[in-house]
Structure 1
Amino acid sequence: MTRLSVNINKIATLRNSRGGSIPSVVEATINCQKFGAEGITVHPRPDERHIRRQDVYDIKPHITTELNIEGYPSKDFMKLVIDVKADQATLVPDKPGQLTSDHGWDTIKNESFLRDVISELKSHGIRASIFVDPDQKMVEGAKKVGTDRIELYTEPYASGYMADPEKAVAPFVAASKLAKSLGLGINAGHDLNLKNLKYLIDMIPYIEEVSIGHALIADALYMGLRNTIQEYLECIKP
């Protein structure tokens, strides 16, 4: 069964554009879970342009499902993840000023670094997931660094879906089969939406979690948060 984790970064972006506390990320956390989300994802960045570090401390007491914190594993990031004891840390190779994640880890070049970070997370009982492209060598490298899961960077799938869904999904299917054979859990995220999500899950039914923010929050402007979450759940449930 695939779980839906809602990324609430865009809620914070809207709040920050005006200042103050509206909309509330705490209320968003509570309501997303009430409406059926099976996890909450946040991706705090060094410039705090959307989710702030304090937001993560504020929402933690209201998590009744799972808290997934994404980010580059800097000292500040690791302290935050460990302080709140996140259920999962998803490691991404972002530069400090990067607008959005746009590639996975080179798990071969960064083997030693990732191994040390993942070992530290596991020592605190935190599940580790690392962002990877659908490259079989990178998946094999992910196994070597000791991660619990990989998160497939799905932007290439999303961008190619409308033209040729079978071609677009093929490398993700191959990477997922390899990951599964190696005993790795599989998450997926980036540019997934109501048009392309169901096909991905149909083709890779053992994806454990999808993390969706931008498209889901955008859809909620038209359909409402409750209805939107239900629509996304319909895409991933058998």
Structure 2
Amino acid sequence: MTNLSVNINKVATLRNARGENVPDVERVAVDCETFGAQGITVHPRPDERHIKHEDVFALRPLIKTEFNIEGYPSPEFMDLVLKVKPEQVTLVPDAPDALTSNAGWNVTEHKEFLTEIIDRLREAGIRSSVFVDPDVAMIKAAAKTGADRVELYTKPYADMYPSDPEKAVAPYVEASKAAHNCGLGVNAGHDLNLANLRYFHEKVPYLNEVSIGHAIIADALYLGLKETIKQYKECLS
């Protein structure tokens, strides 16, 4: 079974555009769970342009499934997650001003840094996931940091899928097998949507979780949130 974690950053972006509380981020998170999502993902950035630190604290007692917090492990981020203690922290290499995550870690280069961070998360009882490209060498290096999972960066798959789905998915099949052989769980995310998710799920083995935000919120404008989550879960059934 592959779980669906809904990233609600875009809901916060819309709310922040007016400076009030519409839409209500906390209510949307609870509704996503009610409609069948098996997790909620947030990515609080230093400039708080979407999810704010206060949102993270407010969401913690409300989320009954899995709370996944993504971010670059700066001192401020680590202070936040160690206080909130989500079920999972996904470590991304984003610069503070990055528009969105656009590459995985060079784990070999940052192995010592990541190992120290992951040790701290483990001591706090938090599962760790390292954001990586579908690169077997980086996955093997991630296993050596003590990480629990990797999250495969799927934008290259999404970009190639319309023209050559078989070629697009091939590196992810090998990456997932390599992760499994190293004892790592496998997550995936970035630009997965209703057009490409079912094929990805059918082809990639050992897939524990997908994290999807932008596409789900965009589809919900037309389909409604309940129907959107239903359709995404059908892709994972």
Aligning the two structures, in what range does the TM-score lie when normalised by the shorter sequence?
A: over 0.9
Aligned pairs (5 A) from 1:105-144 = 105-144=105-144
Aligned to 1:200: 200
The CA RMSD over aligned residues, in Å, is 0.5
Aligned to 1:37: 37
Amino acid at match of 1:225: L
- Which whole-Å CA distance do the structure 1 matches of 2:207 and 2:53 have between them? 29
- Which whole-Å CA distance do the structure 2 matches of 1:101 and 1:181 have between them? 26
Aligned pairs (5 A) from 1:80-229 = 80-229=80-229
SS in 2 for 1:18: coil
Aligned to 2:74: 74
TM-score, normalization: structure 1? 0.99
Preserved CA contact (<8 Å) 1:129 1:148: yes
Post-superposition CA distance 1:47-105 (Å, at most 9, x none) = 00000000000111111101000000001111111111110000000000000000000
Distance apart, 1:205 and its partner CA? 3.7
- Which whole-Å CA distance do the structure 1 matches of 2:51 and 2:193 have between them? 21
- Which whole-Å CA distance do the structure 2 matches of 1:106 and 1:218 have between them? 31
SS in 2 for 1:187: strand
- Which whole-Å CA distance do the structure 1 matches of 2:16 and 2:3 have between them? 29
Preserved CA contact (<8 Å) 2:134 2:152: yes
Unmatched tracts of structure 2, length 5 or more: none
SS in 1 for 2:207: coil
- Which whole-Å CA distance do the structure 2 matches of 1:183 and 1:108 have between them? 18
Preserved CA contact (<8 Å) 1:2 1:205: no
Equivalenced residues, count: 237
SS in 2 for 1:82: helix
Preserved CA contact (<8 Å) 1:189 1:211: yes
TM-score, normalization: structure 2? 0.99
4+ residue runs of structure 1 moved beyond 4 angstroms?
Answer: none
SS in 2 for 1:122: helix
